């Protein structure tokens, strides 16, 4: 096997695992049962999506994917903190 | 050097580290679905957010450093950023959950 074939199939397998992880997190997000479970599911979902994009960057050899992953990480962090604040207080900005 | 010029051992190592990191993220997500209570569940995704993320970031740094022939460190930013933010988000979320459970008088909520 050549190096590019190893990278293509191996990183593809890693992406399949991350995709399955995203599906499971989405399942938890839809099932609930309570709001904090849904927020936790969303947190896991964006984290796995970020890792998936990072692996996609390696698989395709395009370094631009790094910025997308970084921005998803930052926006996801803000979203989870805002949602946790909302669950605690009932409003985001007091 | 393009990705197809990587030595075979480097490609295998990068793939192995990435697959192991993805496996940890997958195990964390399985725990998120399988575990019964919220206070158990909140521990599960940290598996992917800490070691899983770190392994994938290390593989990414190795890949880009070998491909570009110079140290490619920007990917470490993601690692540092997630290491700082994951505990913050999960502590805030756990505190919100405890607060909500106590307000409702849930016996399963952790004691004061």
Whether ipTM tops 0.90, in short, is no
The model's pLDDT over A19-57, given as tens digits with 9 standing for 90+, comes to 999 999 999 999 878 888 999 999 999 999 999 999 999
Judged by a CB distance cut-off of 8 A, whether residue B108 touches chain A is no
3-state secondary structure A33-93: CCHHHHHHHHHHHHHHHHHHHHHHHHHHCCCCHHHHHHHHHHHHHHHHHHHHHHHHHCCCC
Does any CB of chain A come closer than 8 Å to the CB of residue B79?
no
In chain A, what are the domain boundaries? Answer: 3-89
pLDDT at B106 over 80: no
Q: Under an 8 A CB cutoff, do A84 and B5 touch?
A: no
pLDDT digits (tens, 9 = 90+) for A62-87: 888 989 999 999 999 999 999 998 98
**Structure-token match 């930052």, residue found:** A74
The per-residue pLDDT of chain A, averaged, comes to 89
Nearest CA in chain B to A45: B29
pLDDT of residue B68: 84
């Amino acid at each position: 096997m050549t190096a590019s074939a190893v990278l293509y199939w191996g990183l593809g397998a890693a992406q399949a695992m991350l995709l399955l992880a995203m599906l499971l997190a989405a399942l938890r997000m839809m099932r609930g049962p309570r709001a904090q479970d849904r927020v936790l599911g969303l947190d896991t979902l964006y984290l796995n999506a970020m890792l998936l994009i990072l692996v996609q960057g390696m698989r395709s050899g395009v370094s631009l994917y790094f910025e997308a992953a970084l921005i998803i990480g930052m926006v996801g962090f803000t979203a989870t903190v805002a949602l946790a604040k909302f669950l605690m207080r009932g409003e985001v900005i007091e | 050097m393009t990705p197809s010029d990587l030595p075979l051992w480097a490609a295998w190592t990068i793939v192995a580290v990435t697959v192991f990191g993805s496996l940890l993220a997958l195990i964390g997500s399985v725990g998120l679905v399988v575990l019964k209570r919220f206070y158990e569940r909140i521990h599960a995704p940290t598996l992917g957010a800490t070691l899983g993320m770190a392994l994938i970031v290390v593989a990414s740094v190795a890949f880009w450093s070998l491909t570009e022939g110079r140290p490619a460190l920007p990917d470490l930013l993601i690692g540092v950023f997630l290491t700082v933010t994951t505990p913050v988000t999960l502590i805030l979320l756990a505190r919100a959950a405890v607060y909500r459970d106590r307000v409702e008088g849930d016996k399963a909520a952790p004691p004061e």
